[in-house]
Structure 1
Amino acid sequence: MDTRLQRPGRRALRMALGVALCAAISFALDLSIPVIAPVFAVFLLATHSRPLSLKASAMLALVVALTTGSGLLLVPLLRHYAWAGVMIIGLMLFVAFRYGLRGGNNLVATFLVAGLTMISAAGTADFQLAVTVVGALVKGLVLAVLVSAWVHWLLPESASARPRPAARVMPDHQAARIALRAALVVLPAYLLAMTDPASYMPIIMKSVSLGRQSCTTTARGAARELIGSTLFGGLLAIGFWFALRLFVHLWMFFLWMLLCGLLVGRKLHGLSPTRYSPGFWLNSLVTMIILLGQSVQDSAAGKDVYAAFAVRMGLFLAVTAYACLTLLIFEQRRRDG
């Protein structure tokens, strides 16, 4: 179990088990936004080979407090001075992405972006909805951290394993340019969600994933990385849905999620060589979780699952195409400059 060849397998199993547990527990507890915990578990377990330290946990708790507080405080500003409020949100997105690119904790940056956009967008429609989103974010993050700690205890990293190398700290001018690009990727989905937060909350989560992925994707491979991973995630969600219909049960939901997590984890951790980057597989898994989770909720609410999935997939592809266009425009301007 401690050999170099077996170490990636343990990491893939750890990620798959953690994501499947978070998804099953979220739906079993009937959380208001059940996809939050498994999505954060993906980011947490795919990027960290060891459980969060006490210092990192304290930092995360502080970020939760600041994010939820800031999101709720911006609600009155967005209602009465919408333009100024949107500009402040854009500035805060830029700061959050730049923090991650300058060597900060990427999980913290991701939670900042997700929290600010989801809470403030929900609050423009109904303050009670914003409070519900706050509760969903906090519960989802706590669940993801607890499950992550448990799977690390169950499948610990070998003592001889070196910690993952720290992310490369970008020069200030480059970090600012990429952070601005990522913020512009997220903003249109955020503006769309403000028109109907209850319906478009998944679009915000997808745009946050795209903004994170755009920080490591080049303009040359943007279409293959962003659009390709979105389409593959949609195919995984379709396959998962029809497999689940063979026997609808929470345990089967857990087992199918575990299988999908293992399939993607093999690619993500290099057990099965592929020409696609880890970001491709990470975004594919996140897309599948969001689409599948919303379909399960649509089914429970008695909605037309297939029509809702088609509309949601179309919006995902539109947001992804816009992200690709943003990358290409920034690359062209950089060359011209």
Structure 2
Amino acid sequence: MTALEARRRSHRLAAATALAIALGYGLALPLPFLAALFTLFLTSTANTAPGPKRIIAILLALALTLGIGVILGPIASAWPVTGLALMAAGIYLSTRIATSEGKAPAGMLLSIGCAVIPAIAAVDPGLAAMLIQAMVLAMAVALLCQVVAFALFRATGPAAAPPPAPAPADSQWIALRATLFMAPPIGLLLLDPAFYLPVAMKSLLLSREASTVSARAATRELLTSTVAGGAGAMLFWLLLGLAPTLWFFALWTAVFAGYTGYRLYGLAPTRHGPGWWVNALATLLILLGAAVQDSATGKDVYQAFALRMALFLGVTGYAILAMTALERWRDRRRAAPPAPPEAIPCS
């Protein structure tokens, strides 16, 4: 990737994310921070702008995927064991799709449809329907922002090569890890879907980030990116307090996204990989969106932020411990000598 293309990618990410914030909150969408979150996932790795046919296909696929959750919700409510088994199978399958076929956005959306939506629908079907509507609208806004960003900052170089797919055995192992990572947040959603939704979205990020991080590097990558995202959200909130208007909200979003983009695409020196920066910015957007909602409903923003940050660190710590334990178990199985063949008695 040339320096010019890297700069355009960084500017494209900043413009698309800021525009998503402006449209999401300006149009008063339900859960407007989802528009910026989807924009980050779509734009950070995109090589070209989506055409009309692709936009329609993505929206239809999203609606179909989320509709699966509406079907699984009553099953999870009436038959919890069967419902949880189907949700776990959906997470496993979605992770296989994201890693084996290189379709990370599709895999994440399928995880939402197979895990997050059913857990919410089992407790509050009305909230699940609202969340589906919010996600479809947020995706439409994200795709529109991506088209506008590509029109402003056109691609100048060849498309970046996709990351190599892992071996089938590694893909199965990664899918198993992601399924185990999602167990605690699904349980929390069954307790309070509205409050713990950001925690579930964060866990989805962890499951995807952990798919490319070894157990040895997990503490540094997963934990530090979560802490950095939380610190960035606090700084963003303080800066937004100087002039709490939508225009300044979008402006500061462009600044933070541009800062991330310069390091994400190698324009500025950094010790962290691209996944670290995407995870940190996504954590910032999730926490910031929840804080804006708390402020609008009259809740104590700082108390809710502290609780969510503690939960984020908790699920991150669980992901690290689970990954370490699974890797050790896998290494012991590989090191164990094969069992001797059974002797066949002579007749």
TM range (shorter): over 0.9
For the pair 1:78 / 2:76, whether they are aligned, the reply is yes
Mapped partners of 2:163, 2:101: distance in 1: 6
The alpha carbon displacement at 1:58 in A equals 5.1
Structure-1 residue corresponding to 2:124:
126
* 2:327 paired residue among 303, 313, 331: 331
**CA deviation map 1:208-261 (0-9, x unaligned):** 111111111111110111010000000000000000111111000000111000
Residues 63, 132 of structure 2: 8 Å contact kept: no
Mapped partners of 2:300, 2:233: distance in 1: 16
Please give the secondary structure, in 2, of the residue aligned with 1:215. Answer: helix
* 2:273 paired residue among 250, 267, 277: 277
Please give the secondary structure, in 1, of the residue aligned with 2:48. Answer: coil
For the pair 1:233 / 2:255, whether they are aligned, the reply is no
Structure-2 residue corresponding to 1:47:
45
Structure-1 residue corresponding to 2:175:
179
Which residues in structure 2 correspond to 1:96-175 (within 5 Å)? 96-158=94-156, 161-175=157-171
The alpha carbon displacement at 1:55 in A equals 6.3
Counterpart of 2:201, as a letter, is M
The alpha carbon displacement at 1:118 in A equals 2.6
Mapped partners of 1:180, 1:21: distance in 2: 37
Mapped partners of 1:25, 1:248: distance in 2: 16
Mapped partners of 1:296, 1:10: distance in 2: 30
Mapped partners of 1:31, 1:62: distance in 2: 19
Counterpart of 1:253, as a letter, is F
Residues 103, 167 of structure 1: 8 Å contact kept: no
Q: Where do 5+ consecutive residues of structure 2 fail to align?
A: 334-347
For the pair 1:212 / 2:205, whether they are aligned, the reply is no
The count of residues paired between Structure 1 and Structure 2 equals: 333
Structure-2 residue corresponding to 1:257:
253
Counterpart of 1:310, as a letter, is A
Mapped partners of 1:333, 1:52: distance in 2: 43
Residues 6, 267 of structure 2: 8 Å contact kept: yes
Please give the secondary structure, in 2, of the residue aligned with 1:30. Answer: coil
Please give the secondary structure, in 1, of the residue aligned with 2:212. Answer: coil
Mapped partners of 1:46, 1:204: distance in 2: 21
Structure-2 residue corresponding to 1:32:
30
Structure-2 residue corresponding to 1:14:
12
Residues 178, 208 of structure 2: 8 Å contact kept: yes
Mapped partners of 1:52, 1:107: distance in 2: 14
Judging changes above 3 Å, is the alpha-carbon distance between structure 1 residues 166 and 58 closer, same or farther for their aligned structure 2 residues? farther
What TM-score results when the alignment is normalised by the length of structure 2? Answer: 0.93
Mapped partners of 1:57, 1:166: distance in 2: 21
Residues 66, 110 of structure 2: 8 Å contact kept: no
The alpha carbon displacement at 1:54 in A equals 5.8
Please give the secondary structure, in 2, of the residue aligned with 1:52. Answer: coil
Mapped partners of 2:275, 2:15: distance in 1: 20
Structure-1 residue corresponding to 2:339:
none
Judging changes above 3 Å, is the alpha-carbon distance between structure 1 residues 61 and 25 closer, same or farther for their aligned structure 2 residues? closer
Residues 68, 113 of structure 2: 8 Å contact kept: no
Q: Which one has a bigger Cα radius of gyration?
A: 2
Q: In angstroms, what is the RMSD of aligned CA positions? A: 1.4
Which residues in structure 2 correspond to 1:50-69 (within 5 Å)? 50-53=48-51, 56-57=54-55, 59-69=57-67
The alpha carbon displacement at 1:41 in A equals 0.7
* 1:95 paired residue among 90, 93, 103: 93
Residues 33, 285 of structure 2: 8 Å contact kept: yes
The alpha carbon displacement at 1:59 in A equals 4.5
Mapped partners of 2:40, 2:324: distance in 1: 28
Please give the secondary structure, in 1, of the residue aligned with 2:216. Answer: coil
The alpha carbon displacement at 1:62 in A equals 4.1
For the pair 1:311 / 2:307, whether they are aligned, the reply is yes
The alpha carbon displacement at 1:8 in A equals 0.6
**CA deviation map 1:269-288 (0-9, x unaligned):** 11111111111110000000
Judging changes above 3 Å, is the alpha-carbon distance between structure 1 residues 217 and 240 closer, same or farther for their aligned structure 2 residues? same
Structure-1 residue corresponding to 2:341:
none
Mapped partners of 2:298, 2:59: distance in 1: 37
Mapped partners of 1:155, 1:116: distance in 2: 36
Mapped partners of 1:143, 1:115: distance in 2: 19
Q: Where do 5+ consecutive residues of structure 1 fail to align?
A: none
What TM-score results when the alignment is normalised by the length of structure 1? Answer: 0.95
Mapped partners of 1:306, 1:14: distance in 2: 32
